[in-house]
Amino acid sequence: MVDSGERVASSRVAHFESFHKWASTVAGVAALAISLYNFTELQQNPQIDVTLPHTLRLGQEGKASVIYVQPTVSTRLKTQSVEVVRDTRLDVIPAGSTSSSARPVFYWSASGTWAYDFNADSIDWRWIGDPAPFIVSQDKPQQPTLRFQANDWSFRPGRYKGVLKLSRSGGRNALFQTFCLMMPKEAVKEIREGPKRTIYFFRNDVPRSSSSSASSGCYEWQKG
């Protein structure tokens, strides 16, 4: 004969075992859901972000104009796939230009890096490779220094619209970043008449009390 105390104890054990099984099932389902989510995330294509630098560098080499751009290309997602940027292009459009013949044709001529020359107190660009596709992943963001060149063309005073285009592999949509560039007469004169292969700096983050709202956020010449 089972007394009431044994029946209560037996009931508690049964409830505990039932709760334990229910909790284990919930934990298993949650773990499965997390695993499926992580697996799905890993299978997705990486979402690429392109950020322009605060500095553009320009120069004149003979009859050619050159622009150096160092964008940051990265992804915030960790996936098994990688992104391949197969080509880049830079369009520079003078303000008010309606004819394509008036626009320079810049092409990606090389990739390089910047090196400081202590003796000359200058920053020099050094070639590291020809134009070639590059890979972007979460653990491998890219900051390539891209050299663009337009032959038989030189800057004139005025405002310019720039468009940096990154073409991706696999038929994915290209990425675009736009910017504006202010080119004063003094800068044009110095670029044309200055020493060969001199690099001139333009920044978009230096406060200027005399800047108008029309040039706010544009890359502007940093004299000296």
| 160-195 per-position pLDDT tens digit | 999 999 998 888 889 999 999 999 999 999 988 888
Average pLDDT, the chain: 80
71 and 178 belong to one structural domain: yes
- The DSSP H or E segment spanning 43 is helix 4-43
Q: Is the pLDDT confidence value at 19 over 90?
A: no
Can you give the pTM of this predicted structure? 0.74
Cβ(196)–Cβ(206) below 8 Å: no
Checking DSSP bridges between strand 200-203 and strand 145-150, what pairing results, if any? unpaired
167 and 63 belong to one structural domain: yes
101 and 32 belong to one structural domain: no
**pLDDT band at residue 28 under the 50/70/90 scheme:** low
115 and 183 belong to one structural domain: yes
92 and 32 belong to one structural domain: no
Higher model confidence: residue 77 or residue 182? 182
Report the number of distinct structural domains present in the chain: 2
Average pLDDT over residues 7-17: 52
94 and 126 belong to one structural domain: yes
The string of pLDDT tens digits covering residues 47-65 is 788 999 999 999 998 899 9
Cβ-based burial of 153 (10 A; exposed 0-12, middle 13-18, buried ≥19): middle
58 and 36 belong to one structural domain: no
25 and 76 belong to one structural domain: no
142 and 39 belong to one structural domain: no
SS3 of residue 47 by DSSP:
coil
Domain that holds residue 3: 1-43
